[in-house]
Structure 1
Amino acid sequence: MADDYTTNTLSGWILESTTFFYQSNPRIAFIMSMGIAFLYYYLTSVAKKPEFYCKPGKFRQVLETMVPILNEKFYPTPWCFGTHSQTALSNFIRGLLPNIKYQRDLLETPDGGVLALDWLPSDLPQDAPIAFFMAGLTGHSQTEYIKSIIPSAAKHGCRVAVLNNRGRGGVDLKTPRTYCAVSHDDMDLALTHIKNRYPNSMIVACGISLGGVILGQYLCRSRENALCDAAILVSSVFNISEAVYSMELPGLNRLLNRHLAHTLWLTVEPHKDKFKEFQEKCDLEEVKKSTTIKEFDERFTSKMFGFQSVDHYYDEAKLINKIHNIKVPTLCFCAADDMFQPHNALPLQIPEENENLAFLVTARGGHIGFMEGVLPFPPFFSERLYEQYLLAMIHSIRDGVFKKIL
């Protein structure tokens, strides 16, 4: 009875004090209550431990023991955790990083095209591990998310190489061919060049956004013959049809879609004289008017690469029905709220079937966002994950856990 009396007295005192405080300071009380409600929402719905999918086996064991960030909660920047704000602001903040000085290799393709392979200058041993990077849709070696991630590789004794797609990175387009989600032959050429130059080095490849799609295509097609020993795909799309549908939804997605369509045209415009011979099947004036990625792909990409239609191109570009073919350790990392890759379109059942494949999915993070901290500045969650994964793969390959590609 005494305990009940004490409890009732305490409850009454709290209620009376709260009522008095609210009546005396209604504005402050309202602000405090909203703050408490926000904190509760943030801690229960925003800051979460990532979802992890991987079949039991040596790859899962390596990840669970050597990549501790898998077991951490991801705390997105509290005042900026929405998908669009994470995407835009992280892009801006990473863009503040200074440009990197590279040494450039120009690689000629069999059809007369030119690729730019940028190397971070170093005096490393001939057999030092190689961190290979491939940027996204309109990216290159100075793109913000490339500049923020490669220091993680360089500081751990890796030779760094970044592949610029045709016509990107300041290299003129030599032939009437650009690049697309299924054009992995240029990556094959670059990796072959790297392997010939450094035959005793392991290669850990990182593809970001479209770069991850192209890397994924390469891994699926090459299977056991892939020239990289391990890979990580960051914010990559596994079902392009679903991605395009998501980007055409009204609101900020549609605005971003329009911006990207215009950016894609800007990658073509400086080289439009190269496409004169294709005017009959590709009207560049119509390409210029594209307001969505799908319109651009319908009017330009699908025709340049000989697909029957844009839907045929998207079907061929899907990784969702090929990814089970990957034969090297590969981590796929993305956010559940990525506007380019909706959570319900992720092939999360496949890692349970393929012991070489793992998925890590954060609740928030946007598209190549993953900002964390009240005052965010790189390295963000994605850069920290990459660094831990890279070291885990290097040590595991050196120790013979995974077979080194010769």
Structure 2
Amino acid sequence: MIIKSKFTPASGLSNAHLQTLLPTFVRNKLKFNGVNQTLELEDGDFLDLVWTEKPKNNTPIVIIFHGLEGSIDSPYAKGIMLALKKQGWSGLLMHFRGCSIKGNRLARSYHSGETGDAKILLNWLQTHYPDSPLAAVGFSLGGNMLLKLQAELADSSPFKAVVSVCPPMLLNACANRLSKGFSRIYQRHLIGHLKRKLLIKAELHNYSQLINLNTKKINQLTSFWQFDDQVTAPLHGFKGVNDYYDQSSARQYLKKIKSPSLILLALDDPFMTQDIIPDESELSLNTQLELSRHGGHVGFIGGSILRPEFWLEKRIPEYLSEFI
């Protein structure tokens, strides 16, 4: 089902880039004090987790999957964790490998289609908190991963419901969009962040031998097409960037989703084009696509300039409360 969103941008803030960038500046002092936990993995690596608070008895647990290079310090992550806590639910943010304050131990990292770590976390939660209903929210990269995870789990999904916010469901189209116009600013920022981390890891792992990548080549990477072809794909077992994008883009899997799933997209999202929007025939009966004219990328700022309201922190709990 495809529906029209009720989101209305704040007066004077309908511009997509303002919607995308403003939360970083107006919420940079948002405070959230969580409970940290580290989950050791069998491959020798680890997942850093952050709880709003540990669940008691049958308290619902809502897992948060952040976006590319996000963390608990991302304004949208802190905002939704506080909103979940207000509902009386236990929010649990899973840092993708290397995205917490500690670098991960292995040469590999994470990517848009990496569902293995989420499955490990789910199994752990079902063992330790068997009476707690589970739900999940994914933002951007985390939203794409969550939809792919839902499709892979299909009828065996333990989630009562999930919400995917601004997922880049066609990775090649999004990589193209981020290489054009003002959107190149976002690409430059994110690639710069990835490269800085990669240069640190290159000192710990023999990347020149492992994936034929030395410091000079790392510094020459300027686009997602280049980074994903020379870094993401070889580090994670793909034949190349096209193989990675083809296998990891979530749009092709939507029909296989069997439990309630809400996808929130803004038509003006500067990280993507409208080409990524699926037809209604591509959606499963349990998947609802909510389209907004405005909102930017993980923005959705309503209210007013003087009193901004962060609509996602209302809409997401509103949807999840129907199921948990």
**Into which bin does the TM-score normalised by the smaller protein fall?**
over 0.9
The within-5 A match list for 1:175-324 is 175-249=106-180, 251-276=181-206, 279-285=209-215, 286-324=217-255
Match of 1:113 among 45, 62, 68: 45
Letter in 2 for 1:357: T
Q: 1:295 to 1:120 in 2, by over 3 A?
A: same
Q: 2:35 matched to 1:103? A: yes
Q: 2:49 matched to 1:154? A: no
Q: 2:320 matched to 1:390? A: yes
TM-score, length basis structure 2: 0.94
Q: 2:22 matched to 1:75? A: no
Matches of 2:208 and 2:119 in 1, distance apart? Answer: 26
CA RMSD, 1 decimal: 1.9
- 2:24 aligns with 91
TM-score, length basis structure 1: 0.75
Any stretches of 5+ residues in structure 1 without a counterpart? 1-51, 55-69, 395-406
Q: Deviations over 1:53-103 (max 9, x none)?
A: 16xxxxxxxxxxxxxxx773x3212222211121011222232312x2222
Letter in 1 for 2:320: L
The 3-state SS of whatever aligns with 1:95 is: coil
Task: Give the aligned length.
Answer: 323
- 1:134 aligns with 65
Matches of 1:345 and 1:300 in 2, distance apart? Answer: 24
Letter in 2 for 1:80: L
Letter in 2 for 1:246: R
For CA contacts below 8 A with separation 6 or more, give which structure has more relative contact order.
2
What is the CA-CA distance between 1:374 and the residue it aligns to?
Answer: 2.2
Going by fraction, where is strand more abundant, 1 or 2?
Answer: 2
Any stretches of 5+ residues in structure 2 without a counterpart? none
Matches of 2:103 and 2:184 in 1, distance apart? Answer: 31
The 3-state SS of whatever aligns with 1:366 is: coil
Matches of 1:109 and 1:208 in 2, distance apart? Answer: 24
Q: 1:330 to 1:276 in 2, by over 3 A?
A: same
The 3-state SS of whatever aligns with 1:331 is: strand
Letter in 2 for 1:120: T
The 3-state SS of whatever aligns with 1:199 is: coil
Contact 1:262 1:288 in 2 (8 A): no
Matches of 1:379 and 1:387 in 2, distance apart? Answer: 15
Going by fraction, where is helix more abundant, 1 or 2?
Answer: 1
Q: 1:317 to 1:373 in 2, by over 3 A?
A: same
Matches of 1:342 and 1:107 in 2, distance apart? Answer: 37
The structure having more radius of gyration, on CA atoms, is 1
Letter in 2 for 1:116: D
